[in-house]
Amino acid sequence: MSQAPPDSPGHPSAHTMSSLPEGYRALVVGAGGGLGAAFCDRLRADPRCEQVLGLGRHSNPPLELMDSASVQAAALQAAGQAPWHLLVVASGILHGPGLRPEKRLADLNADAFHRVLAINTVGPALVLRHFAPLMDRQRSLVGLLSAKVGSIGDNRLGGWYAYRASKAALNMVVKTAAIEMARTHKGLVMAALHPGTVRTGLSDPFNGQTLGRDPQEAATQLLAVLDGLKAEDSGCFRAYDDSELPW
């Protein structure tokens, strides 16, 4: 089935990132995924956006989250166009060959746990290490896709050990990096973002195509949340409806 083009009747209007300067430049890591591609679409539909660089395993330059040299090389290439004004890290893994969310402790597998942590926590942390210094010091936004199930305070059902742990750890990385970056980039605002259930491959095995929202809608909502953040919000954990989530 073909997808409706941006701003067609099948998609919401793009959000205009009015808090960023005219001609702002945006980076999207994980651009090959369903939500990452939607972020690229939404940003390219914003007339105030001058450039969108989508990065992923098959981009030019390629960026492979589990390869630190690849992350560094992509950042070195992007540095030639710095400063950047928006960075969205839309990568993540929940399931795959030999990998399913655990229902109980007996389901834990060390190799699968390591892989989930590598992609959901270590990879985004390396992206921040190499890309955060490239952001504009006056006003820039950094959003990393987390998940409500990564909230320790909101955990009432249990299960999903690796995914929950990886997102909780990512939240700590975001909070800690926001504190550090505020010392040199006072206008940089960083946030962990909960997208909700979205109709992407990540949610497919969990009734996501029935329960989820269109990726274009989710991307528009998350961009609006980022656009509304102030300097004092840096390091926050927000949902797609702009509600604040417990750690």
Q: What is the reported pLDDT for 1?
A: 34
CB neighbours of 14 closer than 8 A, spacing ≥ 6? 6, 7, 42, 43, 45, 46, 220
- List, for residues 146-199, the tens digit of each pLDDT value: 999 999 999 999 999 999 999 999 999 999 999 999 999 999 999 999 999 998
Average pLDDT over every residue of 211-224: 91
- Cα 228 from chain centre: 17
pLDDT confidence of 11, banded at 50, 70, 90? low
Question: Is residue 184 a part of any domain in this protein?
Answer: yes
Question: Is residue 215 a part of any domain in this protein?
Answer: yes
Domain containing residue 77: 24-239
- Please determine, for residue 132, whether its predicted confidence score (pLDDT) is greater than 90: yes
Split into its structural domains, the chain has a count of: 1
Q: What is the reported pLDDT for 139?
A: 98
pLDDT confidence of 4, banded at 50, 70, 90? very low
Helix (H) or strand (E) holding 28: strand 24-29
- List, for residues 36-50, the tens digit of each pLDDT value: 999 999 999 999 999
DSSP, collapsed to helix, strand or coil, labels residue 239 as strand
Question: Is residue 5 a part of any domain in this protein?
Answer: no
Question: Is residue 1 a part of any domain in this protein?
Answer: no
Question: Is residue 9 a part of any domain in this protein?
Answer: no
CATH number at 82 reads 3.40.50.720
- List, for residues 109-124, the tens digit of each pLDDT value: 999 999 999 999 999 9
In terms of Cβ atoms closer than 10 Å to its own Cβ (0-12, 13-18, 19+), residue 224 is middle
- List, for residues 81-107, the tens digit of each pLDDT value: 999 999 999 999 998 878 899 999 999
Average pLDDT over every residue of 58-64: 95
* pLDDT, greater one: 205 or 128: 128
- Please determine, for residue 131, whether its predicted confidence score (pLDDT) is greater than 90: yes
Percentage of residues of the chain with pLDDT beyond 90 = 85
Q: What is the reported pLDDT for 240?
A: 97
Question: Is residue 222 a part of any domain in this protein?
Answer: yes
In angstroms, the CA 49 to CA 51 distance is 6
Average pLDDT over every residue of 217-244: 97
Question: Is residue 246 a part of any domain in this protein?
Answer: no
* pLDDT, greater one: 44 or 201: 44
Percentage of residues of the chain with pLDDT beyond 70 = 90
- Please determine, for residue 14, whether its predicted confidence score (pLDDT) is greater than 90: no
Q: What is the reported pLDDT for 199?
A: 83
Query: Mutual orientation of helices 161-181 and 123-131 as an angle, nearest 10°?
Result: 20
Question: Is residue 8 a part of any domain in this protein?
Answer: no
Long-range Cβ contact pairs of 6-11 (< 8 A, separation 24 or more): 6/41, 6/42, 6/44, 6/45, 6/216, 7/45, 11/214, 11/216, 11/217
Q: In whole numbers, what is the pLDDT of the chain averaged over residues?
A: 92
